Copies of this chain bind each other. A is one copy, B any other.
């Protein structure tokens, strides 16, 4: 805006770009001090090291020139950048929206959030970790990993695991108590008299999905419910609908009266496919999911779901990572965020809604 006006002569950054860039050396010259002094002042380490007079001169020069510390230079020198990498396999799930913005907020202004979008078909492996490591990130936030991914992290990597039940491996973690939520759901379905339940799993290999399924199945078994699993799809309404449509005839024949999706998005697919097939929900079939997305109160019928507070997860993870980075100490904290069943009309005993 300001001093870029006459730069237009060279709008295409040449090989050694940097036109228009204000460096610490320029600030030093402007303030009549050394670059060491500039660095100390700008990084807030001037306390008792730089005279008030010089501090002010530097600050004024910084202001005047619009100086911002260059990340490449400081990263090279300090050994780590201000970037925090969030590794998530499946950000298509709206579950991540709030997680991301809360993590961002908890991290504070000193860090930038880099999203490493694996994509459902391209799970993060050791090679991608190595590539990310070359960015010298200040830390990692790793959501819903599997054991392989955790093993690929070099020891000493500053990382916080999110929603990684059973995978701590010496790293701080923030977990959702999905097992408890799954058990609550099994209990709820047992209460409604269901005896055979279909389970629509994820095709993504992550510990959290395994725990959801196993905890549900185990509690269900104790309550005399048989769980039919084996069906799985991506976190995608249409894929889930298709998978349900394929599984339904078999489940129907087996006497299934309820279907649980491993995410709400899976459950939406079931809801849609059931409507299409003329299977009344909850009259003929009860449906439930995990996440309790904002949409789930508004589906038809409103969806019963295990509430997983993604915002809290992101926020706790951001805070923990920041403590890890700034404290420097080997914080091995394990936060557990509770989950809780939200019963709505999609699993109501009769046609009347409970919601």
What is A's interface to B at a CB cutoff of 8 Å? 1, 4-5, 7-8, 10-13, 15-20, 66, 68-73, 75-76, 78-81, 83, 91-94, 96-98, 100-101, 104-105, 112-117, 119, 126, 130-136, 151-152, 154-156, 158, 236-238, 268, 271-272, 294-295, 297-300, 328-330
Of residues A72, A83, A98, A116, which shows the largest number of chain B Cβ atoms within 10 Å of its Cβ? A72
A101 to B88, CA, bound (A): 11
A68 touches B155 (CB 8 A): no
B71, B91, B156: which contacts A4 (Cβ < 8 A)?
B156
Contacts of A92 in B (CB 8 A): 97-98, 101
Contact B72 A10 (CB under 8 A): no
In the assembled complex, the Cα of A72 lies from the Cα of B8 at a distance in Å of 27
Q: Which of A15, A96, A97, A328 is most buried by chain B, counting CB atoms within 10 A of its CB?
A: A97
Bound together, the chains give a CA A295 to CA B238 distance in angstroms of 10
Copies in the complex: 2
Give the shortest distance, in Å, between A38 (CB) and chain B (any CB). Answer: 15
Cβ-defined contact, A135 with B71, below 8 A: yes
Q: How far is the CB of A17 from chain B (nearest CB, A)?
A: 3
Identify the 3 closest CB pairs spanning chains A and B, nearest first.
Answer: A300-B300, A17-B79, A72-B75
